[in-house]
Structure 1
Amino acid sequence: MQEQIKNIIFDLGDVIINIDVPLAARSFAELCGQEEAEVIELFREKDLFRQFETGELDEAAFRSYVRQILKKEDWDDATINKAWNTLLLDIPPARIELLQKLRERYNLFLLSNTSPIHITEVNAILEKASGVPRLDELFNKLFLSYEMGVMKPDHAIYLKVLEEAGIKAEETLFLDDNAANIQAASELGIHTIHVQKPTTILDYLKDYVA
């Protein structure tokens, strides 16, 4: 397979940056004095994450909706942003170095289900870890769900990436930690690697920089 590959598409969370998704709901629960499970159910019932990560809600509308759902109209923007960003942990510098080496040989792309608040914070974490100020300096192009209006594992998002990047599925490798996202890409003929902790992209891609 490796001989065919000209392009590598990376997921963001738990592929490049370490994350702990429940931390966001836990943070909101602690702030509003509710149970974590109750907050998770409220967010799920109101379809909050999908709406934000497909761009149906912009940043201001997202924060307004959080205040409404949790009945905390007095929360300021910074409080909500901080709680939302708690799930973002660290970016090991070795992963950044790997991306820089890979880009000498391959076209690199990022494909993430994400939100503008998270991307702003990821850029801050990236700069602190490596001195690289923005994700788009590591990739040929970023494909972000909130800008595209569609999320993984919808086939449409992969087809958009292939078309807009001008690349072929059979020459492309996709790495993601979510099995459904991997399955959807495979169905379109994209080569895939299911990233599963504790194994990291340093292990999965070591032969690609040898």
Structure 2
Amino acid sequence: MIRTLFVDAGGVLFNNINEETEFLARVADRHAVDRADLAWRAMAAARVYESGRKHVHQVFHRLVGGHSWSGRGILDTWWLDHTYMDCVRAYHDNARVLRELREELPDLTLALTNNEAEHWDRLKDEVYGHLSMFDVLCSSWRVHRVKPARAFFEEALSRCRTTADETLLVDDRLPVLRAGAALGLRTLHISTPDVLADRLRSLVHGHAEPTGVL
């Protein structure tokens, strides 16, 4: 029986900003840096702000040419945040499905298990209110670990006071799903946003088999 849902945000509740939008290209063009180089360095540095080690503004200050973590200098943080939010697209149907499932099964624990900067998670929450949908926040900035690390899932299970075999991991990334499956979590691969609405309810109610990951 599934008692807990581990739900990703990017790819499930929202689009993936760095991978699916022009956000990084727009940052590169504004600061006259190479698009491909900035994209590579931004992906490599993501865990620094996702884990909460540094504020995302500090990381991008370095990425576009700063020489310290001070956060001062050429980076216009208002522009950066505005550009980020301009690229966000919310999957409203998926949020609706989760809210309806919560009403049907009040004992089901919903945990947010996303990799994101705290600052941008909260900016999105101001507009879309997604954080209030969850009983437990296990965002990377909250647990100070980043998926697909084993320690991330162990900490999330501990915070939710649940076991792997009672937990369904809902995510769009196969490496994350494989890491969760290796710990015994059941998995649902969100290959496209509509998969959640099509399959989640039947999985939680035990009418379908979880997604296998290779």
State the TM-score, normalized to the length of structure 2.
0.81
1:55 to 52, 57, 82: 52
Does the CA-based 8 Å contact 1:19-1:87 persist in structure 2? no
| Correspondence for 1:117 | 119
Query: Is residue 183 from structure 1 mapped to residue 178 from structure 2 by the alignment?
Result: yes
Distance in 2, matches of 1:9 and 1:53, equals 17
Identity %: 20
Distance in 2, matches of 1:7 and 1:182, equals 15
State the TM-score, normalized to the length of structure 1.
0.83
Map residues 1-210 of structure 1 onto 2, 5 A cutoff. Answer: 4-22=1-19, 23-44=22-43, 47-69=44-66, 73-92=73-92, 94-104=93-103, 105=105, 106-126=108-128, 134-197=129-192, 199-207=194-202, 208=204
Structure 1 residue 50: deviation in Å? 1.4
Does the CA-based 8 Å contact 2:11-2:193 persist in structure 1? no
Does the CA-based 8 Å contact 1:67-1:73 persist in structure 2? no
Structure 1 residue 136: deviation in Å? 3.0
- 1:161–1:34 distance in 2 versus 1, CA, 3 Å: same
Distance in 1, matches of 2:13 and 2:42, equals 26
Does the CA-based 8 Å contact 2:7-2:111 persist in structure 1? yes
Distance in 2, matches of 1:152 and 1:183, equals 11
Q: Which stretch shifts more, 104-113 or 153-162?
A: 104-113
Does the CA-based 8 Å contact 1:110-1:139 persist in structure 2? yes
Does the CA-based 8 Å contact 1:169-1:190 persist in structure 2? yes
Which segments of 5 or more consecutive residues in structure 1 lack a partner in the other structure?
127-133
Does the CA-based 8 Å contact 1:24-1:85 persist in structure 2? no
Distance in 1, matches of 2:193 and 2:132, equals 27
Structure 1 residue 67: deviation in Å? 4.5
When the two structures are aligned, how many residues end up with a matched partner? 197
For residues 73-100 of structure 1, give each alpha carbon's deviation from its aligned partner in whole angstroms, at most 9, with x where no partner exists: 33322022233445422232x2222111
Which segments of 5 or more consecutive residues in structure 2 lack a partner in the other structure?
208-214
Structure 1 residue 205: deviation in Å? 1.2
Distance in 1, matches of 2:34 and 2:62, equals 19
Structure 1 residue 113: deviation in Å? 0.5
Does the CA-based 8 Å contact 1:103-1:139 persist in structure 2? no
| Correspondence for 2:212 | none
Does the CA-based 8 Å contact 1:11-1:111 persist in structure 2? yes
